[in-house]
């Protein structure tokens, strides 16, 4: 709040009402409802539900399939986050360095940001198409038969590859803008000090990029957990079967397909706790970052 502020009897209320109304109806109510129904066992035929306490949670943690999906989600999140950050960083460092064509490269490496995840999934489907997909054929050259949708590992690989492709641009944009905000004096001092470009990067540039990298780490984890829904749904052609899927996709499958409300809500709540932990972690980092600058 500014020191020089207005005072008015009803103006601020009027300004806040639209936002607050939407939030109460479409944020707080559903969130509370998810929490509440996670403690109930829903009757599949009607409205009745029995209070079962934490039973839905216990059932989940004993469910082998749920544990398998959790494990896959961890692997998926780690690979997508790691590789899309790595590619984004490499491209940004190079794009920051070259003198010619810098703006063309920048455009070429960032436009995929605007491609919707399910569209990326569809592109993935045609590239990994059984038999004559481009990437399938490349694998065939090495004598490996790649079958998306049948082989668990192949499907996982394809999903991860597509999700990385979709996420590289945003990391590129942030790393590049981070690099370009490194003061020239620091760069020049580093040049005079000399040392190999490799050393210079790890001792000077990377530490200066660290805040950006931390911010992106959280963004990428959130992306892998939630925004990849479209990629996964399209690549599985809405038929999950025994294929790999993430926890978010499982919430959807159980809630809308399986009509297993209590279990699905409990899964939602677990995800909520996960995101909450991540965001609190992120806020603390941002706070610390403000102290630096």
Partner 1 sequence: MKSSVTSATNLPKINRRRRLVKWETVIDHSVLILGSALMLFPVLLTIMTSSYDKLAFAKNGLQFGWSDKFIENYNKALFEPSGFSGTIDGMTMLSNSLILGLGFAVGKIVISMMAAYAIVYFRFRFATFSFWIIFTTLLLPLEVRILPSYEVIQSFGLTNTYTGLIVPLIASATGTFFFRQFFRSVPEELVEAARIDGAGPVKFFIDILVPLSKTMIAAMFIIMFVFGWNQYLWPTLITTEEGMFTLVRGIKNIIQSFTDSNAIPEYGVGMALTIITMLPPVLIVVFFQSWFVKGLTESDK
First-to-final CA distance of the chain: 21
- Per-residue tokens: 51: 């209070």
Asked whether the beta carbons of 11 and 30 are under 8 A apart, the reply is: no
- By CB under 8 A, tell whether 189 contacts partner 1: no
CA dist 163 and 255 (Å) reads 24
- Work out how close the CB of 131 gets to partner 1 at its nearest, in angstroms, rounded to a whole number: 8
What residues numbered 230-269 form the site for partner 1, per CB under 8 A? 230, 233-234, 237-238, 248, 251-252, 255-256, 261, 264-265, 268
Q: How far is the CB of 22 from partner 1 (least distance, A)?
A: 5
Cβ contact 52:40 at 8 Å: yes
Distance (Å, whole) CA 220 – CA 172: 12
- Residue 195: partners with Cβ closer than 8 Å, 6 or more residues away: 203
Show contacts with partner 1 in window 205-224 (CB under 8 A): 215, 222
Q: How far is the CB of 30 from partner 1 (least distance, A)?
A: 4
Q: Which is nearer to partner 1, 80 or 261 (CB)?
A: 261
Site for partner 1 in 19-48 (CB under 8 A): 19-20, 22-23, 25-27, 29-31, 33-34, 37
Closer to partner 1 by CB, 132 or 153: give it.
132
Q: What does each C-alpha distance from 151 to 105, 134, 196, 205 come to in angstroms?
A: 36, 18, 45, 42
- Specify the residue, 18 or 48, whose C-beta has the smaller distance to partner 1: 18
The site map against partner 1 for 120-139 (x = CB under 8 A) is -xxxxxxx-x-xxxx--x--
Tell me how crowded residue 63 is: count the other CB atoms within 10 A of its CB.
13
**154 belongs to the binding site for partner 1 (CB under 8 A):** no
Would you count residue 74 as binding partner 1 (CB under 8 A)?
A: no
- For the bound state, the minimum distance from the C-beta of residue 143 to partner 1, rounded and expressed in Å, comes to 19
């Amino acid at each position: 709040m500014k020191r020089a502020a207005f005072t008015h009897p009803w103006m601020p209320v009027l300004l806040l009402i639209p936002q607050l109304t939407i939030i109460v109806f479409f944020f707080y109510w559903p969130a509370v409802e998810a929490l509440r129904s996670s403690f109930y066992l829903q009757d599949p035929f009607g409205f009745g539900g029995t209070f079962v306490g934490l039973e839905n949670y216990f059932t989940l943690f004993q469910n082998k399939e749920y544990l398998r999906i959790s494990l896959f989600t961890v692997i998926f999140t780690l690979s997508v986050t790691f590789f899309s950050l790595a590619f984004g960083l490499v491209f940004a460092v190079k794009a920051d360095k070259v003198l010619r064509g810098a703006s063309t490269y920048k455009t070429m490496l960032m436009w995929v940001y605007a491609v919707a995840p399910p569209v990326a999934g569809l592109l993935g489907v045609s590239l990994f198409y059984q038999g004559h997909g481009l990437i399938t054929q490349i694998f065939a050259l090495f004598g490996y038969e790649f079958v998306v949708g049948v082989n668990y590992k192949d499907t996982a690989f394809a999903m991860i590859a597509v999700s990385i492709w979709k996420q590289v641009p945003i990391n590129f944009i942030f790393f590049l803008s981070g690099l370009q905000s490194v003061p020239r004096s620091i760069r020049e001092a580093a040049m005079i000090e000399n040392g190999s470009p490799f050393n210079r990067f790890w001792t000077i540039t990377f530490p200066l990029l660290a805040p950006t990298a931390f911010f992106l780490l959280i963004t990428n984890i959130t992306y892998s957990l939630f925004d990849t829904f479209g990629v996964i749904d399209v690549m599985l052609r809405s038929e999950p079967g025994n294929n790999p899927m993430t926890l978010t996709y499982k919430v959807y499958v159980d809630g809308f397909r399986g009509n297993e409300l209590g279990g699905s809500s409990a899964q939602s709540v677990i995800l909520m706790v996960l995101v909450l932990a991540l965001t609190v972690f992120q806020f603390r980092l941002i706070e610390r970052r403000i102290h630096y600058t």
